[in-house]
Chain A
Amino acid sequence: AQSVSQHNHHVILSEAASLELGCNYSYGGTVNLFWYVQYPGQHLQLLLKYFSGDPLVKGIKGFEAEFIKSKFSFNLRKPSVQWSDTAEYFCAVNGNAGNMLTFGGGTRLMVKP
């Protein structure tokens, strides 16, 4: 079975600070990895995805994530956060032959203006 761990449940940053959210997964085979963002009161939206190739993936709004296979990690980063980045961030993995996506518990990010 696949599982996803997000160790930071709540993160509070000031504007312009750098962000790194941790994501570790457990699955021995080939994986597809995703980060989704959920702004307050809204649905989940895709930030970025990794299927294969360059392990450093760039997404929307200046976010990027790095797949480190040896560490089973897919951490999300942003060099300089903005107040509008306040949201909950979910890491997800799909390692099955089918289409089942497993989500981490989410990290709530609050950016202080």
Chain B
Amino acid sequence: AQSVTQLGSHVSVSEGALVLLRCNYSSSVPPYLFWYVQYPNQGLQLLLKYTSAATLVKGINGFEAEFKKSETSFHLTKPSAHMSDAAEYFCAVSFQNTGFQKLVFGTGTRLLVSP
């Protein structure tokens, strides 16, 4: 079955520390992969995406992610956390057999940033 898994429902870091949010997918063919961020009571904002071009993808707000086919992963990183990064982060995938249209989301990781 095609699916996406986010390890860790909560991640806590100190301001200035490295942020690492994990995402793994299950699919026999490489999907398209996305990271979205959600602030309280708001919709989803696209951070970055992988759609079969460069495997290291840079997004907004200093975030980046690397597609690793051998590990079926697309982990999100940021070298130095800022207080404003505190939010819910969702990894999402779309698959070739659905025309890359329907997004399947992970359960989300809440990032907590302490001063």
| A and B assemble together | no
